Structure 1
């Protein structure tokens, strides 16, 4: 009798947990959709690297499309309905999600490049891990310690992940020039990407690209100042710093997270 009662209580608790998840999904439709698309983009990235099923090129473009969908949904969350006004356009252009919507559009017309997917999959992993914890808490499945451990590891490395995203964004600019020389991109690609990178540099909510530029400048200047560095190498490093500094826009005042 006691065993039957315990089984009944266990079944009830499980039912209540899944009912809570169902209510959470209904209440937070966009957040859950974003989580699902991010997980799918991670799977597509794995499919691109290990094309066991289907073409790697197809997976590549699916990742870009998934990122575009994520960016569009985030813009809807942040700005609401589209308004035909100058104020709305100004708000749109300073949003990080708008920047990454342009990012997807830029590389949709470029031959697949693995480095392009790195910022997307890192952002997807970071945000998907964070919301996965919310879903697990809604389910109340504390026994899923393995998933929680992986999420904790991702969140523990969140700063390094964001710095790596910023570094890959910067490295992609000279790489787009190499893509032209290899015949894999058009002449407009680095010009459009430069505009994307300036927007990332001026981001109010994400200072990591701006900080990474500063760190790289300090690194190059310290390297150039070493006595063991040949004069020609020193001049090249300082020329890179000076050229990049001239291209850098004036950063805007930071905006607090909302």
Structure 2
């Protein structure tokens, strides 16, 4: 049976999903929308991730071992990042990864917790006599499983694109100099923890390689890009322990 904490976790994801869709759609259609929706989105994220982090790590402890272990956990990382975006100037693209995560968590919560209260299981039709989930719940489960990898790939590419956005934002004065530094560190950790991020980065690098190495491009472009890759490789190669992927924002 779902606990009050589980419902609170789910409510954070529903708040995030509804608010971010409202804000994102307004941005896509060039309509003015209150920044309140942006704040509400990341407030929902903070609620959900705070519950997960508390369940996983308990009350924060002022010692180096606890801090190091916590900072290497992806739920902690997304919690800190959510608070950073909440306290910063709105960047619409920052909502995309959280929207995707919340969509899948909200659908799973609906299937496993809400649907059984209104759509009871169908009578047993198998030899073991176990009741079967309602057909709608089964279709929802199939959809979630079938689209999970595709959605995580979308998140990985969106996070890479977001890095380009915040770097460009330095020159347009739309975000602070701290933003790309902070976010690049987050993305470096994602590289070590997520196969999807590594795949997206490899694909993006190959794409840029193809563009830079086109016949007729000035040699300096190749040199600059080669040096950039070398610098990024040395920076990303600093010691960081690879972690087993966890379900971001999942209730435990």
Q: What's the TM-score, normalizing by structure 2?
A: 0.76
What is the alpha-carbon distance in structure 1 between the residues aligned to residue 95 and residue 167 of structure 2? 18
* SS of corresponding position for 1:186: coil
Question: In 2 relative to 1, CA 148–240 (structure 1 residues): closer, same or farther, beyond 3 Å?
Answer: farther
Matches within 5 A, 1:108-119: 108-119=86-97
Cα distance in 2 for partners of 1:177, 1:157 equals 31
RMSD: 2.9
Q: What displacement does 1:64 show?
A: 1.2
List aligned pairs for 1:105-254, cutoff 5 A: 105-136=83-114, 138-139=116-117, 141-142=120-121, 145-146=135-136, 148-203=138-193, 206-222=194-210, 224=212, 228=215, 230-232=217-219, 234-235=222-223, 237-250=225-238, 252-254=241-243
Does 2:87 align with 1:99?
no
Task: Give ranges in structure 2 of 5+ residues lacking alignment.
Answer: 27-31, 123-133, 248-252
How many pairs are equivalent?
228
2:20 counterpart (45, 49, 64) = 45
Structure whose alpha-carbon radius of gyration is higher: 1
1:92-114 alpha-carbon deviations (Å, 9 max, x no partner): 10111111122122223433221
In the alignment, structure 1 segments of 5+ residues that lack a partner are 1-23
Q: Distance in 2 between matches of 1:134 and 1:230?
A: 55
Greater RCO structure (CA 8 Å; 6+ sep): 2
Q: Which deviates further from its counterpart, 148-157 or 228-237?
A: 228-237
Q: Distance in 2 between matches of 1:186 and 1:222?
A: 31
8 Å Cα contact 2:12-2:43 kept in structure 1 = no
Residue 12 of structure 1 corresponds to which residue in structure 2?
none
CA distance in structure 2 between the partners assigned to 1:37 and 1:193 by the alignment: 23
Q: Which runs of 4+ in 1 moved over 6 A?
A: none
Distance 1:43 1:34 in 2: 15
Residues 41-99 of structure 1 deviation map (CA, whole Å, 9 limit, x = unaligned): 11111221356xx9431101111121122221111111122222221111110111111
State how far apart, in whole Å, the 2-side matches of 1:244 and 1:31 are: 40
Q: Secondary structure at the match of 1:230?
A: coil
- Does 2:68 match 1:90? yes
CA contact (8 A) 1:220 1:241 kept: no
